[in-house]
Structure 1
Amino acid sequence: MNNIFKDTKIKPELQVGLEKINFTKPTKVQEAVIPVLLAHKNAVVQAVTGSGKTHAFLVPVLNAIDPEVAYTQAIITAPSRELSEQLYQVARELRDAASLPISIAHLAGGTDRERQLKKIANNRPQLVVATPGRLHDFVQKKLLFLDYVKDFIIDEADMTLDMGFLTDIDFIAQRMPQEILFAAFSATIPVQLQNFLRKYMAKPEQIVIDNPAVISPTVKNDLIDIGAKSRKKILYQLLTMGQPYLALVFANTKQTVDKLTEYLQEQGLKVAKIHGGITERERKRALREVEAGQFQYVVATDLAARGLDIDGVSLVINYEIPRDLDFVIHRIGRTGRNGLSGHAVTLIREEEMKRIAGLEKLGVHFDFVEMKNGELVPRKHYHRRDRRQATNHQVDNHLNGLVKKAKKKRKPGYKKKIKQAIQKDKAQKRKIEQRHELRKAKRQRKKRRDDAR
């Protein structure tokens, strides 16, 4: 098969630039997407994080820009400051390696708006990398014009939906030229996103690379039922058990991230925290220090971390399961990237087993493990409990049959025996349920005490 990077439709200087940055062998997504975009066809691309999709759209976009036309010709959106910053830097790297005389601007919230405005006024960018909100702002106030735009790329489209930015994208797309190339890249394509994209793309090329609901085979994906044990103590054991190169811990709220960070720091670990409640300066400093290897542990929320692309994550821990089960897939996808091995561990309690079943329906496979003598060892899978419950349902059906029989005319004493059997069975069940509730209450009390420490 011919190397797509050597396609004659790609400018020679871009081919040289790709070689300079060691892009010699295209990934699956690059092989599938680049020819489509070079042919100026609309596309919806479903590919897992770390599959190489950034260069799959950057190569055709930079290739199509005319350096002689001093107007914005391409726009790429990303739903967070961090993601847009990364895209901006990657685009500049490829442009510089190829020595292309192309002006690239970065527009993002949380940064100096007046400075961005001044840059655009002094040097009109031919490529704009932006967050939807800031792009909406500049277009609405006629600070950025879309008349000459040929390519419009939405990166991390599912996250754009999750963060409520589709209305901004809609505003911008309505003001684009009719003959524009429209492409969306996403790890998952929810129904709401499909409906939105259908509004602007008639019969786009549907490109699916890998199943985004299946964890990479390079990731060992473990599940631990912590029972009545302290969740925080289990977390500390996991983080210090094998000395990971870089561990990423996910929690559902900013408050939990703050508490976990404080707890782990008290245990002597150097921990960085990333969530929407810290300042932009703190976020950037934390990221720089993580990239420089100054932190071995990072605690983060979902939306904050989905905008990050941290290299070298060897361990991901789901401290708790998010409401949106898709986030678990995105979390685990932070490790085991680019063919490297990774490890993910999810902490649960018995009452959360139904949520694990929901994840398994999405295609996520877990290895059920427990911690013994400072290491993780296999244990019996929780589905055995389901089988026990199924047996209980069979008993219930049997009793239903007895009740029906009791309604029929029988010899004296027969109904009484049936009623006694039913009452005995109900009493036994009540005892089991009460025992279960007592154990559950005991676990919750212990958890509250542990969390209060």
Structure 2
Amino acid sequence: MKADNFSRLGITERLQKGLVDAGVTHPTEIQERLIPAILNKKDVIGQSQTGTGKTFAFLLPIVESIDVEQKQVQAIITAPTRELCSQLFNELKKLIAPYEGEVEAQLFVGGTDRAKQIQKLSSNQPHVIVGTPGRMNDLIANRALLAHTATTLVVDEADQMLDMGFIEDVDRLASSMAEKLQMLVFSATVPEKLQPFLKKYMNNPRHVHVTPETQAAERVDHRLVPVRHRDKISVLKETISGLTPYLAIVFANTKEQADLIANALAEEGLLVDRLHGGLPPRERKKVMKRVEDLSIQYLVATDLAARGIDIKGVTHIINFEFPSDLDFYIHRVGRTARAGADGIAISLYESEDEAACAKLVKRGIKFTFVEWKQGDWVEVKAPVGAKRMKHKPEQQKDKTDKPKEKQTDARTGGKAKAKPKKVKPAYKRKARTANEKRQKKESRVRSRNSK
């Protein structure tokens, strides 16, 4: 297996060996469009969702540009959560493996031994740093991390940084780096509130917007379970009783709701855990370890787990509620049906979800209403008001595309038989009355004219 398709993008053979180890042989669209620009030290904005290959779009040119002779920090990569940073760092390690220690990288996130990190940095400044903005700013403030030499900053999941209130930390981090700074921003969306930050640091950036070939995984069976004014937690328990997942993720919109669901499922004796931004970093690390060890069967999570985190073996996605941003529905269901496997996405449906579902239908998602009844999944009629969600098949045209001949009746000598006109009741009386009124009016007019 070779990855020589990357040669024309400026990626050398040595780095391509790391790509082979990572199982990558062909560049994706976002890699094709951004790698040359990044190698030429241009600022870029990569707008894309999960599954477009954006991680290697910035990791490859960063590793390619490292000057191994300079023992100083040259690039900093930041993401909003510890889990995302760990995932980015693992991908980076695959790429630098062929360099046999010539390119050094370190991971700095919360929930880890800060004193040990400071001690390690005192004797060695790695070429590439991956970490959360809070921990890196802390290390910079303690004069342990010498960020002023770094000329490239990657901000991954920038819209999440903004939503979680970390954009000021990223701003502080950027201001601690080299004056001539190349900034690479990657985000599923580019909200208006992010613009001041982008304008402050970016110089005529190349903005590339890439969407996945399919907006949602093709092998996902999308099901809707009507709540019908019942207790939603009870409906969730009933739904789960009809499932035997290898691993299921139950999505909620808030950490409070996630805690409520996790507690309710734990009371049923299920192997359940939770993952959301309200947990301390150390606890989130333990949860991810339990997921990897298959110690749990149900993970209750907020959208923190839907953005970029690769959780393997997910067979079922359960949406306790629809996200306000429907792109997150795509992110959520994208956790299953991977590597050619099938997946099931089940969403609890209430009447107020009609508009959201109708929009998803327009994006190519086909829903089926189902219920768990007497030990079996049964397809049910759509609730009242859900008509807009139905796919409208196109009317088939006549194959010959010829106009149809007019039907004739033998009794009319080949002429089409005229249909009798419909008349209203008492039409004769009404017509007579109208005629009498008209005659009286004409009589009055003649009488005036004769005077």
2:112 match: 111
Distance in 2, matches of 1:305 and 1:233, equals 25
Whether contact under 8 Å (1:156, 1:187) holds in the other structure is yes
Q: Which residue is 1:391 aligned to?
A: none
Amino acid in the other structure paired with 1:308: I
Aligned match of 1:160: 161
Q: Secondary structure at the match of 2:147?
A: coil
Match of 2:21 in 1: 20
1:251 equivalent in alignment to 2:252:
yes
Alignment TM-score, normalising by the size of structure 1: 0.75
Residue aligning to 1:379: 381
1:339–1:187 CA distance, 2 compared to 1 (3 A): farther
Look up the match of 1:320.
Answer: 321
The one-letter amino acid paired with 2:21 is: K
Work out whether 1:80 is the aligned partner of 2:100.
no
Structure 1: distance between partners of 2:317 and 2:46? 26
Question: 223-232 vs 372-381, which deviates more?
Answer: 372-381
Q: Distance in 2 between matches of 1:22 and 1:355?
A: 37
Structure 1 residue 260 corresponds to structure 2 residue 261: yes
Shift of the alpha carbon at 1:305? 5.5
Does structure 2 retain, via aligned residues, the 8 Å contact 1:133–1:168?
yes
Q: In 1, Cα distance between the equivalents of 2:312 and 2:31?
A: 20
Task: Identify which range, 326-335 or 43-52, moves more after superposition.
Answer: 326-335
**Which deviates the most, 349-358 or 187-196?**
349-358
Q: Match for residue 193 of structure 1?
A: 194
Q: Which amino acid letter does the alignment assign opposite residue 380 of structure 1?
A: A
Q: CA deviation at 1:307?
A: 6.7
Give yes or no for contact 1:270–1:295 (8 Å, CA) kept in 2: yes
Name the counterpart of 2:369: 369
In 1, the alpha carbon distance for the partners of 2:328 and 2:154 equals 23
Counterpart AA for 2:69: E
Distance 1:366 1:231 in 2: 23
Q: Does the CA contact (< 8 Å) of 1:47 and 1:212 recur in 2?
A: no
Q: Which amino acid aligns with 2:148?
A: D
Query: Which residue does the alignment assign to 2:174?
Result: 173
Residues 1:225 and 2:226 aligned together: yes
1:299 aligned counterpart, secondary structure: strand
TM-score, with normalisation over the residues of structure 2? 0.76
* Greater radius of gyration (CA): 2
Question: 2:154 and 2:87 mapped to 1: Cα distance?
Answer: 15
Consecutive unaligned residues of structure 2, counting only runs of 5 or more, are: 390-451
Superposition CA RMSD, Å: 3.0
User: What is aligned with 1:29?
Assistant: 30
Tell me what 1:52 maps to: 53
What does the per-residue CA deviation read over 1:397-436, in whole Å, with 9 as the maximum and x for residues that have no partner?
xxxxxxxxxxxxxxxxxxxxxxxxxxxxxxxxxxxxxxxx
TM-aligned CA deviation for residue 125 of structure 1: 1.2
Contact 1:246 1:314 in 2 (8 A): yes
- Give the match for residue 405 of structure 1: none
Name the CA distance, whole Å, in 2 between partners of 1:321 and 1:86.
26
In the TM superposition, residue 98 of structure 1 has moved relative to its aligned partner by 4.1
Q: CA contact under 8 A between 1:4 and 1:34: conserved in structure 2?
A: no
**Is the 2:22–2:95 Cα contact (8 Å) retained in structure 1?**
yes
SS at match of 1:227: coil
Q: Percent identity?
A: 39
CA contact 2:248–2:317 (8 Å) conserved in 1: yes
Question: Residue 93 of structure 2 aligns to which amino acid in structure 1?
Answer: R
Partner of 1:438: none
- Classify 1:232/1:212 alpha carbon distance in 2 versus 1 (closer, same or farther; 3 Å): farther
Asked if the contact 2:112–2:282 (Cα under 8 Å) also holds between the matched residues in 1, the reply is no
Point out the structure with the larger helix share.
Answer: 1
